[in-house]
Chains A and B, each alone.
Chain A
Amino acid sequence: EVQLVESGGGLVQPGGSLRLSCAVSGFIVSSNYMTWVRQAPGKGLEWVSVIYSGGSTYYADSVKGRFTISRDNSKNTLYLEMNSLRVEDTAVYYCARDSAALKDWGQGTLVTVSS
C-alpha cells in the first residue's frame, strides 16, 4: 500500500526555519519524481517544488533561494528545508508522488509563520 506521511510543521516566527519530512512507503522515492504543493488557509493550491529521479530540482519563484527540496534514499524520505520564512508561507504543505499526474498525496502538515 502506498503511503505518504508529512511531518515537521508547526508555529515559527518570521525569518525562522523549518524542515518538513515526507516519509514514504509502498514505492521508492529516489525512483520517482516528487513534488511539494502548499495551500494557504482559504486559498488555492500552489506548486512549490519538484525533485526528479535524476536529482534535478525546480522551485516556484515565490520560494526560490529560500526553500530546498531533497531526499534521503536510505530513509525513503522526501524533505523540504524552509529558511527565511515569511507570513505568506503559512499554509498546509503536501508532498505528492510524480510531477504532473499526482496520484498519491500525503495528508498535509500545517506551517504557521507568525510573531
Chain B
Amino acid sequence: SYELTQPPSVSVSPGQTARITCSGDALPKKYAYWYQQKSGQAPVLVIYEDSKRPSGIPERFSGSSSGTMATLTISGAQVEDEADYYCYSTDSSGNYVFGTGTKVTVL
C-alpha cells in the first residue's frame, strides 16, 4: 500500500525555522496537504494543494513540493506551533493516505 514518510520528530528553537518533509512516490503528480494536531484536539488544515494557506493560518506556515518530496516550513516558529504535523495525499488509485506524522518541539 502507498506510504507517505515523515521524520518522527523535529526540534527547533523559538524564532528559528522548522522544516518537515514528506516523501511519497505519487507526489510528483498529486497535491500534498498538511495538518496540525495539538494534543486532544481535532486536526487543523495549515496548507492545501502543496503551497496554499487557508484563511486564518499565520504567514509563517508555508509549503512546497518538488519531485517525490513535499515540505512544510514554519518560519520563525512559536511555542504555540508545538504539535504533531501530518502530510496527506492520494495514491494513483485515488485512495487517500496520511503521512506517518512528525512531532514538532519548540524549545
Instruction: Say whether chain B's binding surface is mostly helix, strand, loop, or mixed.
Output: strand
Interface residues of A in 85-115 (CB under 8 A from B): 94, 99-103, 105-108
Q: Which bracket fits the contact residues of A? A: 20 to 34
Contact (A101, B45) CB under 8 Å given A44-B86, A45-B37, A61-B1: yes
Q: 0/1 per residue, B40-72, Cβ < 8 Å to A?
A: 001111001100001000000000000000000
Interface residues of A in 26-64 (CB under 8 A from B): 35, 37, 44-47, 50, 58, 60-61
Task: Report how many A-B pairs have Cβ atoms within 8 Å.
Answer: 55
Q: Which bracket fits the contact residues of B? A: 20 to 34
Instruction: Say whether chain A's binding surface is mostly helix, strand, loop, or mixed.
Output: loop
Q: Which residues of B come within 8 Å of A, CB atoms?
A: 1, 31, 33, 35, 37, 42-45, 48-49, 54, 84, 86, 88-90, 94-101
